Amino acid sequence: MTGTHAKVMVLLLAAAPVAAAIADESFVCGSRIIELGLTQAEVLAQCGEPASKDVQEEAVRSGNRKVGVTQTSRWTYSSYSSTRVLVFDGDRLVGIEDPAGDD
């Protein structure tokens, strides 16, 4: 392998984990890319209603003291090729999960 080929291989191998991390931070909905940080209204406008919604309230704690409540929503979108669960903390998209675990 020549020096140039070795450098290209090293760059490709180094980029693989970055590409996997980026895949976990976006979701293609139709022809639109859904990314972390969008609001629930923005996701609804781009993707429509999810197949299912699960909303849970969780206590916000400081040490042993409850200082508030936050709402975590999990919206499931299914297509012919994949299923993704969009996780919202309050109104903001904070996670995109593959329930099958095959990213």
- The answer to the question of residue 91 being in a domain is yes
Q: What is the pLDDT of residues 36-89, one digit of tens each?
A: 999 999 999 999 999 999 999 988 888 999 899 889 999 999 877 788 999 999
- The answer to the question of residue 68 being in a domain is yes
Q: Does pLDDT of 21 surpass 70?
A: no
Q: Rounded CA gap, 63 and 65, in Å?
A: 6
- In this structure, the dihedral spanned by the alpha carbons of residues 32, 33, 38 and 44, taken in order and rounded to 10 degrees, is 40
State which residues form the domain around 91: 3-97
- The answer to the question of residue 102 being in a domain is no
What's the total number of domains in the chain? Answer: 1
pTM greater than 0.75 (yes/no): no
CA angle 11, 31, 38 (to 5 degrees): 80
**Lowest-pLDDT choice from 5-9, 31-35, 75-79, 96-100:** 5-9
- What pLDDT does residue 80 have? 75
